[in-house]
């Protein structure tokens, strides 16, 4: 009797052990999220899976059936290995998968275009279209090593490792990174989108339920990657206003100097809030010019688009090390070298550099053809007309720092 019980319990024990890994999927946040965008993405996954199962399930079932029917012990089974063509079988093998592939392609193509992360939301919930009154809340997200910075330009506040948004309001994320590529992902809200240094990506989403969720980086980025997580909180409109007021009461200011300290690599950073943020800080982060005196990428591109600074200014960029051989915030700032900032005047950005000498602009931080640098190498001033004075360089090889 005990032998019979032992043989009975053994298969049950094996079955129970095999089911244990399935417990890890009890949190079905991807298929049961709190945001409309994530819900549509989850539905797309379910539909695609069901369409593929139309092929997989019959194939697996027939595999088992054929193995059982043509087993060695079944002598009554008819075995006919010699045949060369069957029109019915060919139609079944090719027509059904082809139709499924066409359906799968149509559903996927339409769904992915409607859920393009750069595309503004057309609805916040099924049957609830976005109107002109539904102003999106802009959140500027920056991936740091190894933490997340969120800037709220409308509210004038910023947070570290905490994202709070009002329920039902469209969200517009502007996403970038300070050093290496990461991936911004809140499974309960929407799909992941990459955060890359020197670039800006976008994501539109919404939360339809209040609650506390988790966001993280879905792209490996170094030693502290596993702890690069943040709290994602969906609140009522009143609760969000109270949260903003609490952040403003913190009293800290996030300026460029504070940001440069914050972006240094660190792990397991606690939640912190900033009551005010320096204007255009996110744009400086994207253009990699948060350092005082460093030229922004868009200014550099404006100069290049107008022909550059000539051969005499090549030494300004020849020996650059910052942002090339070391990640932002990890190098020795005393030895970092970069192109100095000069395109701070909006008037200059819309004018041709060919007549730069006619404008009263401080160019003391640069050297090159037609540029003077007081306190630097000696320059000879050639007397020409008062309208277009020209400066000729005596010669220098020192990079701007």
Terminal alpha carbon distance of the chain: 88
Backbone φ, ψ for residue 104 (5° rounding): -65, -40
* pLDDT for the residue numbered 383: 35
If you ran DSSP here, which 8-state letter would residue 354 be given?
A: G
Please report how the helices 87-114 and 36-69 are oriented relative to each other, as an axis angle in degrees rounded to 10: 160
Q: How far apart are CA 315 and CA 368, in angstroms?
A: 8
Q: How far apart are CA 276 and CA 255, in angstroms?
A: 8
Helix (H) or strand (E) holding 276, with range, is strand 276-277
Burial 360-372 (b: 16+ CB within 10 A, else e): eeebebbbbebbb
Nearest C-alpha neighbor of 44 from the set 124, 113, 123: 113
Inter-residue contact 345 to 331 (CB < 8 Å):
no
* pLDDT for the residue numbered 245: 95
Q: How far is CA 375 from CA 63, 196, 356, 364, in A?
A: 85, 38, 21, 9
* pLDDT for the residue numbered 292: 82
* pLDDT for the residue numbered 359: 39
Q: How far is CA 165 from CA 33, 169, 216, 237, 357, in A?
A: 16, 8, 16, 8, 49
Burial class (CB in 10 A: 0-12, 13-18, 19+), 389: middle
What does each of the 401 residues of the chain score in pLDDT, given as a tens digit? Answer: 544 444 445 566 666 666 666 555 566 788 889 999 999 999 998 998 999 898 899 889 999 998 898 888 888 888 777 777 788 888 888 888 899 999 989 998 998 888 999 999 999 999 899 988 889 999 999 999 999 999 999 999 999 999 999 999 999 999 999 988 999 999 999 999 999 999 999 999 999 999 999 999 999 988 889 999 999 999 999 999 999 999 999 878 999 999 999 999 999 999 999 999 999 999 999 998 888 878 888 888 877 777 776 666 666 665 555 565 555 555 555 555 666 665 444 444 444 333 333 434 454 555 555 454 444 443 344 333 333 333 333 333 333 33
Whether the ω angle into residue 6 lies within 30 degrees of 0, i.e. cis, is no
3-state secondary structure 185-213: EECCCEEEEEECECCCEEEEECCCCCEEE
Backbone φ, ψ for residue 231 (5° rounding): -85, 130
* pLDDT for the residue numbered 36: 93
What Rg do the C-alpha atoms of the chain give, in angstroms?
31
Q: Which residues contact 284 (CB under 8 A, 6 or more apart)?
A: 256, 290, 296
CATH code 3.40.50.720 for 125-286: no
Q: How far apart are CA 299 and CA 53, in angstroms?
A: 54
Q: Is the dihedral of CA 350, 356, 358, 362 positive or negative?
A: positive
Q: What is the pTM of this model?
A: 0.73
Cβ-based neighbour number of residue 249 at 10 Å: 9
The Cβ-side half-sphere exposure at 213, using a 13 Å CA radius, reads 29
Backbone φ, ψ for residue 2 (5° rounding): -65, -35
Looking at the DSSP bridge assignments, the partners of residue 206 are none
Question: Domain segments of the chain: what residues?
Answer: 28-66+91-115, 125-286, 297-393
């Amino acid at each position: 009797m005990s032998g019979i019980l032992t043989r009975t319990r053994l298969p049950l024990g094996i079955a129970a052990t095999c089911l244990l890994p399935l417990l890890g999927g009890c949190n079905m946040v991807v298929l049961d999220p709190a945001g409309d965008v994530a819900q549509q993405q989850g539905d797309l996954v379910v539909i695609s899976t069901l369409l593929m199962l139309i092929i997989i399930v019959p194939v697996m079932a027939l595999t088992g059936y054929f193995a059982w029917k043509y087993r060695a012990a079944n002598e009554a089974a008819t075995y006919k290995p010699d045949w060369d063509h069957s029109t019915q079988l060919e139609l079944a093998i090719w027509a059904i998968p082809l139709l499924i592939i066409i359906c799968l392609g149509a559903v996927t193509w339409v769904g992915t275009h409607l859920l393009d992360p750069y595309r503004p939301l057309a609805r916040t919930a099924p049957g609830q279209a976005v109107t002109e009154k539904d102003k999106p809340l802009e959140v500027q997200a920056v991936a740091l090593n190894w933490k997340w910075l969120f800037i709220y330009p409308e509210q004038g506040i910023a947070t570290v490792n905490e994202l709070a948004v009002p329920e039902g309001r469209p969200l517009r994320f502007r996403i970038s990174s300070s050093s290496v590529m990461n991936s911004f992902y809140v499974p309960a809200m929407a799909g992941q989108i990459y955060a890359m240094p020197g670039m800006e990506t976008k994501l539109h989403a919404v939360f339809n339920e209040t609650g506390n969720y988790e966001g993280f980086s879905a792209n490996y980025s170094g030693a502290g990657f596993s702890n690069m997580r943040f709290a994602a909180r969906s609140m009522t409109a009143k609760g969000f206003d109270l949260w903003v007021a609490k952040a403003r009461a913190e009293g800290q200011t996030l300026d460029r100097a504070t940001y440069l300290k914050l972006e240094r690599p660190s792990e397991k950073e606690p939640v912190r809030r900033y009551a005010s943020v320096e204007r255009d800080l996110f744009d400086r982060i994207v253009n990699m010019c948060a350092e005082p005196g460093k030229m922004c990428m868009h200014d550099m591109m404006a100069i290049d688009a107008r022909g550059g600074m000539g051969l005499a200014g090549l030494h300004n960029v020849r020996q650059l090390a910052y942002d090339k051989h070391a990640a932002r915030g990890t190098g020795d700032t005393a030895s970092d070298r970069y192109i100095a900032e000069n395109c701070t005047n909006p008037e200059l950005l819309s004018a041709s550099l060919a007549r730069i000498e006619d404008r009263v602009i401080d160019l003391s931080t640069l050297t090159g053809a037609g540029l003077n640098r007081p306190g630097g190498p000696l320059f000879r001033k050639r007397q020409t007309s008062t309208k277009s004075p020209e400066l000729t360089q005596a010669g220098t090889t020192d990079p701007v720092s």
